[in-house]
Amino acid sequence: METTTAQGSPGEVYLFTTTQSPTSAPTQARTEDYEVWPKYLPALEGEKGLAVAPTLIKKAVENALSKQHAPKKGSVEYDSETRTLTVSGTRSDVQLAARVIEEMTRGRRIEAALEHLQSEVDALKAELARLKKSAPPPPVVN
C-alpha cells in the first residue's frame, strides 16, 4: 500500500491510500520482449581462402547466448540456402548476437578495405615514378 498525505485548510489533513498494481512489478521476459532477428551472412573469403564460416558464427552466437543466461536461451538457426542466420529470443539475446557477428566479421571487412587502399597506394606510386621520368631535369644554378 502507498500512503499519500495532502493538506487543505489549516488543521485538516487528508489521507489517501491506494494499492500497487501487480502489472507495475518487473517481470522477466514478457512476450512483447521476444524478437526474431534475421541476418544475411555474405561469403566472407579472406586472404589465402580463409573465411569466417557461417557455421562458426552460428556456434559463437549459441555459445554467447548460453553464457548470458544458462537456464533459458534464445535460439539460433542458419539456412545455408539463403545464407541467413536467424536469432530468436529476448532483445538482449538479439543485441548480443549482433555484437558477436560484428566482432567476427569486422576483421574481414577491414582486410578488404586495406587491400583496396594498398592498391590505390601502389597506383599512386606508379604514377609518381612515371611523372619523375617524364619531368625535365632541374636547371643547374652556378
Q: What is the pLDDT of residues 65-105, one digit of tens each?
A: 887 766 666 788 988 888 888 998 888 888 988 998 888 88
User: Domain containing 93 — which CATH number?
Assistant: 3.30.1370
State the total domains in the chain.
1
Q: What angle do CA 104, 109, 115 make, to 5 degrees?
A: 135
Asked whether residue 97 is domain-assigned, the answer is yes
Mean pLDDT score, 31-59: 70
**Assigned domain for 110 exists:** yes
Q: Which domain holds residue 119?
A: 33-132
pLDDT at site 60:
86
As a whole number of Å, the end-to-end CA separation of the chain is: 101
Distance CA 59, CA 117 (A): 32
pLDDT at position 37: 79
Query: pLDDT band at residue 50, thresholds of 50, 70 and 90?
Result: very low
Residue 20 lies in a domain: no
pLDDT tens across 1-10, in order?
A: 554 555 556 6
